[in-house]
Amino acid sequence: MRPVLPILIPLMTAVAALLAWRWRGVQRGVSLLGAVALLVAALILLASVWRDGIQVVQIGSWPAPFGITVVVDLFSAIMVALAGLMGLAVAVYSLGSMDTAREEFGYYPLLHILLMGVCGAFLTGDLFNLYVWFEVMLMASFVLLVLGGERAQIEGAIKYVTLNLMSSALLLAAVGILYGLVGTLNMADLAQKLRSAHHPGLVTTLSMLFLVAFGIKAAVFPLFFWLPASYHTPPVAVSAIFAGLLTKVGVYALIRVFTLLFRHDVGYTHTLILILAGLTMITGVLGAVAQNEFRRILSFHIVSQIGYMIMGLGLFTPLALTGSVFYITHHIIVKTNLFLISGVVNRLCGTYELKNLGGLYQAHPGLAVLFMIPALSLAGLPPLSGFWAKLTLVQAGLETEQYVIVLVALAVGVLTLLSMLKIWTEAFWKPSTRNSQPSVNRRQLVHVFFPIIVLALLTVVIGLVVQPFFVLAERAADQLINPEAYIRAVLGGTS
């Protein structure tokens, strides 16, 4: 029962919020309560997976390869916990930042349906079911993206919707062909049967189809163009949850299928992933350096950071996967926080354009410090969380003697710092060009600042007390690189 709760709680919350359609206050309360419950359930799940190992629920008590299986290994549990944390952060932030019109048109139910889709994708052990959860997540994200109906939102949504539907069609085709080839969709069963597959060439071809389908969702080079075109258009709370979770679901799916299913020809597939990782980092960060708008810079940085996450997958050693898991953890927290801060900046100055910003350090030194923590962590400066994540990946790269990717990773880190400093000098350091201060509601600011402060503290804590988080990532990576435990947990003792 416990592994299913992170799916059920957001569903219940969304239903309750829908029932309270006319009462905005009730919806806000229900949303907050649901987000807290989700985080608690996710943390309990993480603790129990840490203690007792991989947990499995066979839905409807159908035995493993026939029914739909919910599997939680440590990687899934970490991702669900992060989803819960971001859900809560954004739910609190929304209370202070979302406008009344959007709240009245179902913002809260949609937010929780999105969380349900994300958690479902993390928890499922069935490939077709993964496709279904992707669709649930996408549908909610489509509506969240266009909610409000501003011109920029709709234009961004057209690209987002079209490319994501295309990726869904590819994923569906890939799943169908894989079923035709192997005759099962249960991931553990697939992993077992693919080892003795008769057509390794065909399996490699299929793995490329999966790479493209998940690559579009994860915004990997050269498939990322929908991301910087759409992520800066919706209200900032929506941008933040998208930035924190959606592309990471794609990365999760990539890591899952390329550690569990497609590991017959690592020399080819994972080298290709490594090359893509390098190109993703470079194009993302160069795009960011060229931008002059707060959220567009951050959007391009998502792309460049995705490169680091799949770099660990491409290197495919225990240390590298540890780095990937650690990087995802660090990145989700930091990136969501940066978007949330960009929302505060917009609230204070009324714009996201760097050239119109300025003087924030003088007016709000606290906010400047809060920006500096995640920004420097993103660039990978010690002693913040990003430093350890990058260090692990670089170390893994040196161990496997992939010097080019290490060089790229380090250079991209410097460029990241450069573009963070650009935001710093333009928005915070430069003297103010405005005379009037917009009026700010104190009570709303509590809702807005609370998640930002908590997430910034978390970044610092992960940086200073790195050991337990690293051990957690290490064990998660160990389960990924040795999938026997996963297979045995799902299929029983037969393997």
Partner 1 sequence: METILAVVIGVLYATGIYMMLRRSLVKLIIGLSLLSNGANLLIFTVGRLTRARAPFVPEGADALQPPYADPLPQALILTAIVISFGVLGFVVVLFHRAYQTVGTDDLDEMKATDT
Residues that bind partner 1 (CB under 8 A): 128, 131-132, 135, 138-139, 142-143, 146, 149, 151-152, 154-159, 161-162, 165-166, 168-170, 172-173, 175-177, 179-180, 183, 228-230, 232-233, 287, 290-291, 296, 300
Distance (Å, whole) CA 371 – CA 381: 14
Smallest separation (angstroms) from partner 1 to the CB of 298: 12
CA nearest neighbour of 294 among 347, 350, 353: 353
The per-type count for the chain, helices as H runs and strands as E runs, is 22, 2
- 254, 215 Cβ separation under 8 angstroms: yes
CA nearest neighbour of 48 among 88, 9, 5, 18: 5
Nearer to partner 1, 44 or 143 (CB): 143
Nearer to partner 1, 131 or 428 (CB): 131
Nearer to partner 1, 65 or 323 (CB): 65
Smallest separation (angstroms) from partner 1 to the CB of 184: 9
Smallest separation (angstroms) from partner 1 to the CB of 233: 6
Nearer to partner 1, 291 or 392 (CB): 291
Smallest separation (angstroms) from partner 1 to the CB of 287: 7
If DSSP codes are grouped into helix, strand and coil, which group holds residue 493?
Answer: helix
Smallest separation (angstroms) from partner 1 to the CB of 195: 21
Find residue 55's DSSP bridge partners: 72
CA nearest neighbour of 485 among 195, 183, 260, 207: 260
Nearer to partner 1, 225 or 429 (CB): 225
For tokens 């998208």, name the residue: 242
Smallest separation (angstroms) from partner 1 to the CB of 163: 10
Q: Name the DSSP letter for residue 149.
A: -
Q: What are phi and psi of 378, to 5 degrees?
A: -60, -40
Nearer to partner 1, 80 or 257 (CB): 257
Spatial CB neighbours of 300, under 8 Å, sequence gap ≥ 6: 228, 284, 285, 287, 288, 291
Nearer to partner 1, 467 or 494 (CB): 494
Smallest separation (angstroms) from partner 1 to the CB of 426: 18
Q: What Å distances lie between residue 8 and 4, 11, 31, 288, 354, CA to CA?
A: 6, 5, 14, 38, 42
Smallest separation (angstroms) from partner 1 to the CB of 229: 5
For residue 65, cis peptide bond before it (omega within 30 degrees of 0): no
Region of 149 (left: φ > 0; alpha: ψ -120 to 50; beta: rest) is: left
- 490, 267 Cβ separation under 8 angstroms: no
Smallest separation (angstroms) from partner 1 to the CB of 333: 26
Question: What is the identity of the amino acid at 283?
Answer: T
Nearer to partner 1, 4 or 177 (CB): 177
If DSSP codes are grouped into helix, strand and coil, which group holds residue 454?
Answer: helix
Nearer to partner 1, 73 or 126 (CB): 126
Smallest separation (angstroms) from partner 1 to the CB of 88: 28
Nearer to partner 1, 259 or 416 (CB): 416
Q: Name the DSSP letter for residue 198.
A: S
For residue 438, cis peptide bond before it (omega within 30 degrees of 0): no
Would you state the structure tokens that stand for residue 331, as one six-digit string?
Answer: 């990145």
If DSSP codes are grouped into helix, strand and coil, which group holds residue 390?
Answer: helix
